[in-house]
A and B are shown apart, each in its own frame.
Chain A
Amino acid sequence: MSHAETTRIGRGQEPASRRLHVDWTACDGRGLCAELLPELLTEDDWGFPVARGDMTVPPALEPAARQAVDRCPALALRLVSERPAPASS
């Protein structure tokens, strides 16, 4: 096995970096996500979720993150593996 292949396989075994995405046009601030994921989210003055960090989900919190995504009544929360597109006008 070549070094390059080892590196590739090694990378493949690492869990993909995942991130929470909020569709703000859908979120209505019910607050379930902040209750289910207090390690990552808190609430702002109006009950809308605020990231404690940069919304990256550590592997250990992925099950909890999936649960938060599934239980969002507005379907506003997603777990994604890519960076968001830069907004431009």
Chain B
Amino acid sequence: MTSVAEAPPGSSVESRLLADPAGTRLDVHLTQHGRLPAADLTQVIGMARDAGLTGRGGAGFPLWRKLAAVAATNRPAVVIANGAEGEPASGKDKALLAYAPNLVLDGLQLVAAGARSAVLYVPASAHPALARLLDQRRSAGLDRVPVRLVAAPDAFVAGEESAVASAVAGQGAVPADKLVRITDAGTLVQNVETLAHLAMIARYGPGWFRAAGTYDEPGTFLATVSGAVASPGVVEAGYGVALGDLIAAAGGATAPLAAVLVGGYHGAWVPADPRLPVSRAALTPYGGSPGAGVIMALPVGACGLVETARIAGYLAEQSAGQCGPCVNGLPRLASTLSDLAARRARPGLPAEVERLARLVTGRGACRHPDGTARLIHSAMRAFHADATAHLAGQCLAERSHR
């Protein structure tokens, strides 16, 4: 990664969670980081607040607020480490659970102080290795609260907070109505990466954590970089890292880029500007956010409308099938966008895409329709010239091949 070493000052590709990963070797983990300092829940809430640690599952909600809400219920909580990662373009949770699972489990113990039970919700394929590690940690006296493994199904919405709580309660991994908040029901669902950061903060302090990232968005995050890059994979960097530095850390672009999808399938298309900071503040104007750290590079030879229609079709199939506007609206939205992508032009086609995206927004138990609409709204902005060309039977991406 010469490009990283040569990156100018101010760039912030930096490995913390993934620096010299111990894998499932508990002895290596303990040599590197030592045992977890003892902390009660009040201290954990304090350190999470001082560090400014936010959820790394996509929503970016402050951890300390969730912890405080669960603590305010005054009953033993159910705490769940969420490693479902149903997002096809994301691989960072899987990588973290393979390379630094002890940090995740340390973080789970920190939030589980006084809890009724602790759960690690991850795909079944990861269970055997993690079950062995949990046995070792119990024998070593590391896990005061026993951890139960629950299988996360391979579905896009299986990682949504209420779907996770439902799955752990022995029901289907589908989202529930939000009239009662999950936290008010005494359940804490936290992404595995967030917990790993917490385990580092407990050892090295909130000040250390804040040395990376920006003032408003402190710390590092794991990014999954894919698409037209030489070495697709997981990269760690501080928030505010330049988009070009993340792409360089993944081996660099293999072709001139037309646009970059940030935040995942519920994210937004942004210009392929290497200087664009990957932070909530810088991405908000594009309707995006770092989300769960997905970065997908689109080469100029690929059509953004075709790619977005493909993703929209996938998202429509991934509806849990519970809410009418999602069940009916997402397939209609995807097929309407497909018509535009395939140049089956008819008057008012782009306006109909936008209307359907607005129509489904805010009308589901979870934010699956909202996220799908966000992606499509961003595509209609980013690929406006492409849409105009498609209506005239042309395609800008095809033209770039000549």
Contact = CB atoms under 8 A, between A and B. Distances in A.
Whether A and B are associated in the same complex: the answer reads yes
A29 to B, nearest CB: 5
B161 A88 contact: yes
A80 B365 contact: no
B311 to A, nearest CB: 18
B135 interface: no
Interface string B9-38: 000000000000000000000000000000
A66 B103 CA distance: 51
A26 interface: yes
B177 A24 contact: yes
B314 to A, nearest CB: 17
B161 A27 contact: no
A46 to B, nearest CB: 4
A24 to B, nearest CB: 4
B324 A89 contact: no
Contact of B324 (A29, A78, A87): A29
Nearest to A25: B322
A29 B366 CA distance: 18
Contacts of B370: 87
Interface string B343-367: 0000000000000000100011111
State the main secondary structure of chain B at its contact with A: loop
Residues of A in contact with B, size category: 20 to 34
B55 interface: yes
A24 B359 contact: no
A26 B325 CA distance: 12
A84 to B, nearest CB: 6
A23 B365 contact: yes
Given A44-B359, A89-B159, A25 B329 contact: no
Nearest to B60: A88
A58 B175 CA distance: 30
A46 B176 CA distance: 22
Interface string A53-89: 0000000000000000000000000101000111111
B61 interface: yes
Given A45-B332, A50-B359, A84 B179 contact: yes
18 contacts: A24-B177, A24-B323, A24-B326, A25-B176, A25-B322, A27-B324, A44-B325, A44-B329, A48-B324, A48-B325, A85-B184, A86-B59, A87-B160, A87-B178, A89-B58, A89-B59, A89-B160, A89-B161
Interface of B: 55, 57-59, 61, 82, 159-161, 175-182, 184, 191, 322-326, 328-329, 332, 359, 363-367, 370
Given A24-B322, A48-B363, 16 more contacts: A23-B179, A24-B324, A24-B326, A24-B363, A29-B324, A44-B359, A45-B328, A45-B332, A84-B178, A86-B59, A87-B160, A87-B367, A88-B161, A89-B57, A89-B58, A89-B159
